Structure 1
Amino acid sequence: MLRNRIGIILLTALAPSVWGTTYYVTTEFLPPHRPLLAALLRALPAGLLLVVITRRLPTGVWWWRALLLGTLNIGAFLALIFIAAYRLPGGVAATIAALQPLLVALLSTGLLGTRLTPRTVLTGLAGVLGVSLLVLKSGTRLDSLGILAALASALVMATGVVLSKRWPAPVPVLAATGWQLVAGGLVLLPVTLLVEGPPPTVLTARNLGGYAYLGLIGAALAYALWFRGIRELPPTNVTFLGLLSPVVATAVGWLALDQELTGIQLIGGAMILAALLVAQLPPGALGRVRRLASRPA
């Protein structure tokens, strides 16, 4: 049982790790100044592909549930992240996004009947502090609309995670993932056309490769692993794994883009990893560890 749980955690952790490469792929492979197009082409083609592969369509209440979940987890979330990214320094947006585990824990008490524990609160605050040390820079400029968009993105994603746990889809996870990606893509389509206009008439092979990576790996695979994790694990545990995304993004920037990595950032990264590891421990595990450590040799 423990080995199976660890395997699910590791597979789920691959999703935010993949998402951590999005900034690098976007800046190095995609046309500039088209983030909404990237989000649209990441979601809609991947969702349609999964629907074709699984050959399953929603039935009954799952038409509106799939639309709502897809809007929360993908469509509205990516649109709000776009606004926050344009109006805030990346470090501020990432730090606000790190509030998501705490928001999920709070929503779970009302929607799932779980108990908010001191360990969850302290671990969540440690995760926020770790992300701030990892990505925040001095002299950052704040924007009220950007902050509201970042908070809203964290809230809609947290709500989507909790509702995904409350409403387990009666189909394989690939089919449910396809439904949500299609719904999120359809929500993004008019927003993208309104804000950015039609797609570029010329795309290079490098551009197409970047879009293919974001769609096949960053959406179809990553979201399937993420939603499977939500089915199998407590939602708070899953969202703590999302803290891996800024860690991977920072590591990729250091390795591939020669970005500077400071001692403060290393401390922040270590805090993040410690927080998400503690968050994955089953209830009572810390108490057992303390009792073992206090036994005389």
Structure 2
Amino acid sequence: MYSPDSLLLRLMAMEQWPTMFWRGLIGGCAVTLVLILMYGRGYPAKILALRGYGLAFATAFVATSFCFIFAVRETSVGNTLFIVSTSPVFSALISWAALGERPDRRTIRTIAIALAGIALIAFGGANEGGPDSLIGDLAALGAAFFLASSFVISRSVRPLDMTPMLGPAALMSAVVASVFVADFTVPAAALPPLLAMGLLVMPVATWCLTMGPRHIPAVEVSLLMLIEAVIGPLLVWWALSEYPGDTTLIGGAMIISALAWSSIERLRRR
């Protein structure tokens, strides 16, 4: 569900702060409405039960959104998704330090193979970045760190559910962005991808990523997120005729193979 995100951001072709504002406002309102219908009068109590963890999750959500949107604008989609996909490394380190979840050999092996595949993707698109690609790459690195942090936070509150914070977290990103927006106007051409992102892609994908760490380790969630690094550039290729390159296709095959191998081995153990 997250895979079309970078393509939709490219199609919108808006400045960073208005994009973050409308993305957070539309998505936050949609998710909050659904949550109110789900939980009814007990919704505020669900949020209060999360205490400081809920605020920490919302902060990580806002930081991830900011860094990702900025990175897509300042560097290539391939570079952005490659660097963001290093989140398994951060997840493993943060989970080990905060939760005592030491990664096993299978997880370490899968990270190594998958990152090698994504390194090929980055090598294939090394010349796509503009003159400001370095700052965009650093922003993508920040997105990887904050994304991994949100996974670990979601897992640390088990058996509580972080889902009630999805709406407020998205609305918080809109509030933060509104401080820096000079013009709230949305071009007509940007409206369809904006609505698709705010009403479908972001709410559903974020809900899935919030539920995932309740059932599997945060580093496993990050590993599955590597699929975005394969599908994302392919969608941009299909829609905007930006051929990702042979190395991207080879690297994508490595990622899919590594994830399949890891999943099959996990199922056999169970």
Give the structure-1-normalised TM-score.
Answer: 0.76
Aligned to 1:134: 121
Matched, 1:155 2:140: no
> Where does the alignment leave 5 or more consecutive residues of structure 1 unmatched?
1-17, 287-297
Relative to structure 2, which stretch is displaced further, 262-271 or 112-121?
112-121
Q: What root-mean-square deviation, in Å, do the aligned CA atoms of Structure 1 and Structure 2 show?
A: 2.8
Whole-angstrom CA distance in 1 between matches of 2:211 and 2:49: 21
* CA spacing shift, 1:262–1:87, aligned 2, 3 Å: closer
Whole-angstrom CA distance in 2 between matches of 1:154 and 1:48: 25
**DSSP-derived class of the 1:195 partner:** coil
Question: Do the aligned residues in 2 keep the contact of 1:43 with 1:182 (CA within 8 Å)?
Answer: no
Matched, 1:62 2:45: no
Q: Percent identity?
A: 22
Question: Do the aligned residues in 1 keep the contact of 2:114 with 2:255 (CA within 8 Å)?
Answer: yes
Matched, 1:46 2:30: yes
Give the structure-2-normalised TM-score.
Answer: 0.82
Question: Do the aligned residues in 1 keep the contact of 2:151 with 2:218 (CA within 8 Å)?
Answer: yes
Question: Do the aligned residues in 2 keep the contact of 1:240 with 1:279 (CA within 8 Å)?
Answer: no
Superposed, 1:135-214 pairs within 5 Å as 135-136=122-123, 137-139=125-127, 140=129, 145-168=135-158, 170=160, 176-186=162-172, 188-200=173-185, 204=188, 207-214=190-197
**DSSP-derived class of the 2:196 partner:** helix
Give the counterpart letter for 1:36 in structure 2.
Answer: M
Question: Do the aligned residues in 1 keep the contact of 2:2 with 2:201 (CA within 8 Å)?
Answer: yes
Matched, 1:220 2:206: no
Matched, 1:32 2:14: yes
Matched, 1:278 2:264: no
Greater Rg over alpha carbons, structure? 1
User: What's the offset of the Cα at 1:198?
Assistant: 4.1
* CA spacing shift, 1:260–1:82, aligned 2, 3 Å: closer
Aligned to 1:14: none
User: What's the offset of the Cα at 1:124?
Assistant: 1.3
**DSSP-derived class of the 1:196 partner:** coil
Runs of 4+ residues deviating >6 angstroms: none
> Where does the alignment leave 5 or more consecutive residues of structure 2 unmatched?
none
